[in-house]
Structure 1
Amino acid sequence: GGDGEEAEGGVPQYVGFMSTLWWRHAWRLLSLYAPERLLLGTALLCLLLSVPLSALSAVVIGRLFNNFYYPYAPDSSRGHLREYCVAILGIYSLSCALEGAYTALVFVSGEKMASRTRRKLFHALLRQDMSFFDKVKSDSLVHTIRSDVQVIVRSTGAHLFHGIHCILNVILCLSVMFIISWKLSLVVLSLAPICVLVINVQRHFTNKLAADRRDCLGRAGAHMWESLLGMRLVRSFAAEDAQVEDYRACIADVHDLSFQSGLLDSTSKSAVTLTVQFAIVLMLYVGGIVVLSRQIEVGYLVTFVILSILQISSLGQLPKLVSQFKSALSSSSRIFELLDKIPEMNTKATQVIDDLQGHIQFDLVSFAYASHPNRSVISGLSLSIEARSTVAIVGARGSGKSSIVNLIQRMYDASEGAVLLDGLDIRGLDVTWLRENVGVVLEDPVIFCVSIAQNIAYTLDSATQSQVEAAARFSLVHDLIQTFPDGYQALVGDRGVRLTASQKLQVALARAVLAHPRVLLLDETISGLDASTAEAVMDNLLASPSQRTTVFLTAHPESVSKVPRVITLQGGGGKG
């Protein structure tokens, strides 16, 4: 093989195990188990001890046949029969105990590695820039953490050890077989490739159909998920029947592929069984000739047949195990890509402002998202928001209001110019401290599938119930919460499905206020509230202007008519 090539998405395509890249990547993959090396070393020792037991049991069974096959065997041999049977049972018991031990050790090691790797992956994802999440779908990241790690555990744990077991079995069985009869061994060696070929042809077509079936099931599942997620739209267009027909078509494809898979599976299994049985019959025929010519005893022929079956079975499983290890390499490449990714934004600054006032300045700031680097959202923006003042920034959709929020929170860095807080460039401030002191209520707030109290007190474990309720009263959501049977402990459902859009904003505002930020950014918060609530919430926000710097961002000037200062965004710049 040569060096690995990069496929789309940065996934290496391994062209052969002779590749340096292949071995380097395989070594790094296995090094994930480094903390479990003692457990795995013990498991490997159990495996090495268990391998000879299969061959030993075959030899003992052969000796048993030699002693009791002949009709003139003395009656005293019956005692030895019991001894042989006890010996065989003891070998089987020891073999099962050793295999059970190494299987358990490998399982524990795999779960430890999986938990550690998932934690590292999640930590690596959380430290990435927002621009990374703009370019990568969140479901693919979840798939990497959940499924790719599981593929590695399965393929480098039980399957890898099983592969080692199979390889050692083949070597040991062949060695003993050649000792018994080199002629019979050559017959087996000539038949083994045919058996393995038939097994792998069957596996190839079965896997292809299984992959097609998984794709169809995936499409059917995605269709169902989208239909349920967009149930309001489906109902609005009375499209239930059309959705059912589309789903029926997807399921029909799954049915056809399942039928083909079942037919192929039954046919190919019969072919594989027939091929293996033909090999055994041929072996018995040739072996019978060898026994009749008194070249070997019948017991050795029995041993030989047992070892041959073990050897062919082990050989047949190796290609599948190699394929699974390659899958683990492919999955690990995606994992290592995430673990190795260094955020473009420098977040190592440690400076904080001891007495933060909340004076915000934009000094000739220009900004474009990494996904569209040639399309500036903000161009040469300069503005100043005095400390502890209340200001509204008004602009049409796409004028850069949300980008201003992102820049102040330092979710992104400005392409040109600087964003200043109390006269200091925010790029020189501790980013965790900055975000703790800049509260944000987004136009489409995130509501977690936990209780209302937990949503309001998000990350604030020290918040008391009275503090949570005070924040809820500030955003006028307290009375609503009291209508729930469980009050503040009521679960709001997936993404806050039990709350209206306005109520989600109120919960998000309570969450932001509870953290006591020195700067509060409200992106379309007032305009998103119900008319009966918006004015009262605005009055609460305007009633305590000296506590914080409050910035409203909206496309609806009428919603901020009470705000003393309004800045209008025009073409990426601002005035007011």
Structure 2
Amino acid sequence: MRLIVVVSCIVTFVVVDVVLSTVFYIQGSGPNPFSEDLEDFNIYQSILDLWATLMVRSCLLLGAAIGILVNRTEGPCRVASLGTLVVLVSLVMLTYALTKLLIFSEIGRLMYNPWFLSLFSWTCASSVGTMVLWKLLSRTDGGAAGGERVRLDEGDEEDEDGTRGTGDKERVNSGATLGRLLYYCKKDAGLLSLAFFFLLLSAVCEAFIPYYTGKAIDGIVIHKSMEYFTKPMIVLSGLALVSSLAIGVRGGVFSLTLARLNIRLRNLLFRTLMQQEIGFFDANHTGDITSRLTSDTTQVSDLISQNLNLFLRSFVKGVGFFGFMFSMSWKLSLVTILGFPYIAVLSKLYGDYYKKLTKEVQTSLAHANKVAEETISAMKTVRSFAGEGHEAESYHARLQEVFALNKKQAVAFACFMWSTCISELALQVTILFYGGHLVVTDQMTGGALISFFIYELELGECLESISSVYTGLMQGVGAAEKVFEYIDRKPEQSLDGQEAPETFHGLVEFENVTFAYPTRPETNVLKNVSFRIQPGEVTALVGPSGSGKSSCVSLLENFYWPQHGQVLLDGRPVQMYQHGYLHSKVALVGQEPVLFARTVQKNICYGLPDAPPEVVASAARKANAHNFICGLSKGYDTGVGEKGAQLSGGQKQRVAIARALIRNPRVLILDEATSALDAESEHVVQQALDTVLQNHTVLVIAHRLSTVQRANTIVVLEDGVVMEQGCHDKLMDLKGLYYRLVQRQMLGFESNGGPPRPAIEAPPSQKEEEQEGSGDEDVPRY
């Protein structure tokens, strides 16, 4: 339906164009207009050439409309691809009409012919209308059944992650992005108003400088008087002083405002990232995220501050300069206007291409940062496998991809500057030639011509600044779109639970839980899993590697949501609890605890910044960590280094246990808390754990037989399915998977030179001594 409406408008427009242009031409010509003009055409007398431009407009619009009606699938796409060419053709017609006006202005009686003025005005209006109708035609749906578009937009390309974009629907409009950036500056409206005031002040002062320069020259050349020369010079000096002061204040205020914008963007982006679900961080590399948070936000603030300041200054000055130019000579001003549209189209094409390249450069830089971040964070592993050379080559390859795009940017910039300089030079030669004609014919003075030429040079600089501003703004917009992409992202798993009961017993229930990670939705790692942990009891999860034990921990911590079933705490789904409340009642000690590059005290009371020192020390004593902490150089104020690198494995584990215990949680999760430690460190950490197992609801994943067999309930998982449940003795009697795992461990002890284990029920202390002296690190885990 929309296509029919647009085509109807085009046909109506063409008919009106033909009728009006023909009537204006016939009335403005002799008795036999077409025959006489065709036999003896004279560009200085005839307006046949102006009438002929309607043939170009009609052929373009009717041809495009017929093409879309014939091929509704690909027609709109082809029309859109020719949009720039049609704009150029329309600009040529508009330019020719203005040139015709200048030609007839030399012959006064022809210029004031009302029919010529009517044809001239209609030609200008219809040229603009042609561009508008072409734009509307390129945006039609093409008329597929049901009004649906059957072609893919240019933006519907497959992304790197394999997903398909949605093209125009999701393509962020550059103007909207700039408007949004300005919206974030609304708190600085006072500063921006002050900056704009000084911008206007400096622009007005600079606009008067060429005018008084011409006055000073006329005082010497025409009046030959120092009085006529001195007065303009005094005014010039005052204008220059005021303009300089205003420029300095304006620049400083703009810089301050955009620095505050940078702070707001970074703060908003980081807060948004903190609200995303864990699956988001699984799917997006740390290097990509930090690149958005650092380089992209910096690029946005720098480019926007510099280019917005420059754009406003150049625009205001340009408007003032053109006002003075038009008051001096409308004819020369008309000549100047002729070159503007072409420079604008050139800037638009270059800006769009540069914006596309900028996005590609940012993506390539993010990939390079990903390699660097991953390598640096795992430097010990790289060194242990002598992979330095390979990683350096990989990083260099990524940088070469960036450099290839930089070369494209350089070539595009060179071509743009070449074409712009040629256009400006041609325009200046034309102005001098025609201006000289006006001076010779006494239509303006020499001083006015010099003033006009200075204005034109200044106006050219303003246009050049605006064109470069457009490119810089597009570069900043490209970075801003990536930042807003993260800011606007809504987490798939929200943390908006409201439950915070005064009493919390710690009953844990898994009810028919089926779960797959967001990055691998086709693979279920848990399949209809059900078990219960009574308050105050210890439940152990055992099973082969990859059976889903750690996935149960992630669900209980509300890191992910199950696809089916529920994880309940005291009868309520975990996602219904307030985020802070849940993690004050449920604490986790992982296999590889992560410490922050802060002091020991700040790591223990992480999330509880107001915890008093005595509470921190009490938690450290419970974790069997107080003694070694006191032995550090600065005690609890000792820094632990990045990820706790300055502490041993056992020390990090005990600090992590203290960090969990300081919250006095009702549910304690131990995810193989001693599996990565040597025998001595494991013994110390296990002693710390033994003191807290009796006071909490505990879910433990462990490979130590002594820890597992003392659990009230043992849940045996295999391939995401609960195979067995019960106490140690019951499962041993079943002689199933658990029995085989126990036998495998016992055989591992004996094969490693340890004493035979005749009785599973040996006292815990005896079992621990046997395990600690038997090469525990080689024992198969479950």
Shorter-chain TM-score range: 0.7 to 0.9
Question: Does structure 1 retain, via aligned residues, the 8 Å contact 2:350–2:416?
Answer: yes
Correspondence for 1:176? 324
Report what 1:295 is aligned to: 443
Distance 1:517 1:111, change over 3 A: same
1:575 aligns to 2:722 (yes or no) = no
1:123 to 267, 271, 277: 271
SS at match of 1:365: strand
Q: Offset of 1:57 from its aligned partner?
A: 0.9
2:506 to 350, 353, 358: 358
Q: CA shift at 1:303, angstroms?
A: 1.0
Q: Report what 2:673 is aligned to.
A: 525
Post-superposition CA distance 1:516-573 (Å, at most 9, x none) = 111110111121233112223223322344422222113x243735633333223322
Matched, 1:59 2:211: yes
Q: Which residue of 2 is the match for residue 564 of structure 1?
A: 711
Match 2:691 to one of 537, 543, 552:
543
SS class of match (1:363): strand
Quote the residue 2:473 is aligned against. 325
| Partner of residue 138, structure 1 | 286
Distance of 2:350 and 2:297 partners within structure 1: 28
> What amino acid is the match of 1:535?
H
Classify 1:425/1:149 alpha carbon distance in 2 versus 1 (closer, same or farther; 3 Å).
Answer: same
Q: Cα gap change, 1:434/1:214 in structure 2, threshold over 3 Å: closer, same or farther? A: closer
Partner-residue secondary structure (3-state), 2:502: coil
Which deviates further from its counterpart, 370-379 or 210-219? 210-219
Compute the displacement of 1:440 (Å).
0.6
Match of 1:73 among 220, 224, 227: 224
Calculate the aligned-residue CA RMSD, in Å: 4.0
Letter in 1 for 2:573: D
Q: What corresponds to 1:42 in structure 2?
A: 194
Distance 1:127 1:275, change over 3 A: closer
- How many pairs align? 568
Map of 1:236 onto structure 2: 384
Amino acid in structure 2 at the alignment position of 1:575: Q
Give the one of 588, 608, 613 matched to 1:460: 608
For 2:597 and 2:504, locate their aligned partners in 1 and report how far apart those are by CA, in whole Å. Answer: 34
Report what 2:54 is aligned to. Answer: none
* Distance 1:246-1:540 versus aligned 2 partners, 3 A rule: closer
Deviation at 1:451, TM superposition (A): 1.7
Query: Which one of the candidate residues 420, 429, 448 is aligned to 2:568?
Result: 420
Q: Go from structure 1 to structure 2 and tell me whether the alpha carbon gap of 1:253 and 1:24 turns closer, same or farther (over 3 Å shift).
A: closer
Q: Deviations over 1:48-84 (max 9, x none)?
A: 34333222111011111111235x724x53xx64443
Matched, 1:511 2:622: no
Aligned equivalents of 2:426, 2:419: Cα separation in 1: 10
Structure 2 partner of 1:404? 552
The separation in 2 between residues aligned to 1:339 and 1:207, in whole angstroms, is 20
Match of residue 382, structure 1, among 515, 523, 530: 530
Give per-residue Cα distances to partners, 1:263-301, cap 9 Å, x unaligned: 998998788668756754664455445434443222212
**Contact 1:199-1:316 within 8 A present in 2 as well:** no
Shift of residue 243, structure 1, vs aligned partner: 5.5
User: Larger C-alpha radius of gyration, 1 or 2?
Assistant: 2
Q: Residues 476 and 533 of structure 1 are in contact (CA less than 8 Å); yes or no, is this contact kept in structure 2?
A: no
**Which one-letter code corresponds to 1:105 in the other structure?**
V
**8 Å CA contact retained: 1:364, 1:380:** yes
Is the 1:11–1:330 contact (alpha carbons within 8 Å) kept by the matching residues of 2? no
In 1, the alpha carbon distance for the partners of 2:422 and 2:384 equals: 59
Q: C-alpha displacement at 1:46, in angstroms?
A: 3.2
Q: Residues 462 and 570 from structure 1, CA distance in 2 versus in 1: closer, same or farther, beyond 3 angstroms? A: same
Secondary structure (helix, strand or coil) at the match of 2:540 reads: strand
- Percent identity between matched residues is 26
Q: 1:30 corresponds to which residue?
A: 182
| Rounded Cα–Cα distance in structure 1 between residues aligned with 2:407 and 2:483 | 36
Give SS of 1:131's match: helix
Distance change in 2, residues 1:451/1:483 (3 Å): same
Any residues of structure 2 matched to 1:200-239 within 5 Å, and which? 226-239=374-387
Q: What's the offset of the Cα at 1:246? A: 6.3
User: CA shift at 1:361, angstroms?
Assistant: 1.8
Q: Secondary structure at the match of 1:124?
A: helix
Residues 253, 305 of structure 1: alpha-carbon distance in 2 compared, 3 angstrom cutoff: same
Distance 2:391 2:694 in 1: 55
Alpha-carbon distance between aligned partners in 1 of 2:512 and 2:360, rounded to the nearest angstrom = 55
- Which residue, 302, 307, 314 being the options, matches 2:455? 307
Deviation at 1:189, TM superposition (A): 3.9
Specify the alignment match of 1:370 in structure 2. 518
What's the TM-score, normalizing by structure 1?
A: 0.83
Q: Deviations over 1:160-203 (max 9, x none)?
A: 34323323333332332232233433443455567778989999
The residue that corresponds to 2:622 in the other structure is: 474
Change (3 A) 1:369 1:228: closer
Structure 2 residue 542 is matched with structure 1 residue 394: yes
User: Which range is displaced more, 386-395 or 272-281?
Assistant: 272-281
SS in 1 for 2:322: helix
> Is residue 212–residue 236 contact of structure 2 (8 Å, CA) maintained in 1?
yes
Secondary structure at 1:366 match in 2: strand
Distance 1:425 1:230 in 2: 37
Tell me the distance in 2 between the aligned counterparts of 1:217 and 1:143. 8
The match for 1:102 among 223, 247, 250 is 250
Partner of 2:9: none
Q: Name the CA distance, whole Å, in 1 between partners of 2:343 and 2:407.
A: 26
Does the 8 Å contact 2:591/2:675 carry over to 1?
A: no
DSSP-derived class of the 1:569 partner: strand
Partner deviation per Cα, 1:296-342 (whole Å, 9 max, x = no partner): 22221221121111111122232332334344444444444444444
Q: CA deviation at 1:375?
A: 2.0
Which residues of structure 2 form unaligned runs of 5+? 1-134, 141-152, 727-782
Which runs of 5 or more structure 1 residues have no equivalent in the other structure?
A: none
State the alpha-carbon separation in 1 of the partners of residues 176 and 285 from structure 2: 29
| 2:715/2:725 contact within 8 Å kept | yes
Please tell me whether the aligned partners of residues 538 and 699 of structure 2 are also in contact (alpha carbons under 8 angstroms). Answer: yes
| Aligned-partner Cα distance in 1 for 2:528–2:697 | 23
Cα offset for 1:357?
2.3
Kept in 1, the 8 Å contact 2:599–2:637? The answer is yes
The whole-number CA distance in structure 2 between the counterparts of 1:423 and 1:495 is 36
Which whole-Å CA distance do the structure 2 matches of 1:315 and 1:134 have between them?
A: 47
Tell me, yes or no, if the aligned pair for 1:467 and 1:514 is still in contact at 8 Å. yes
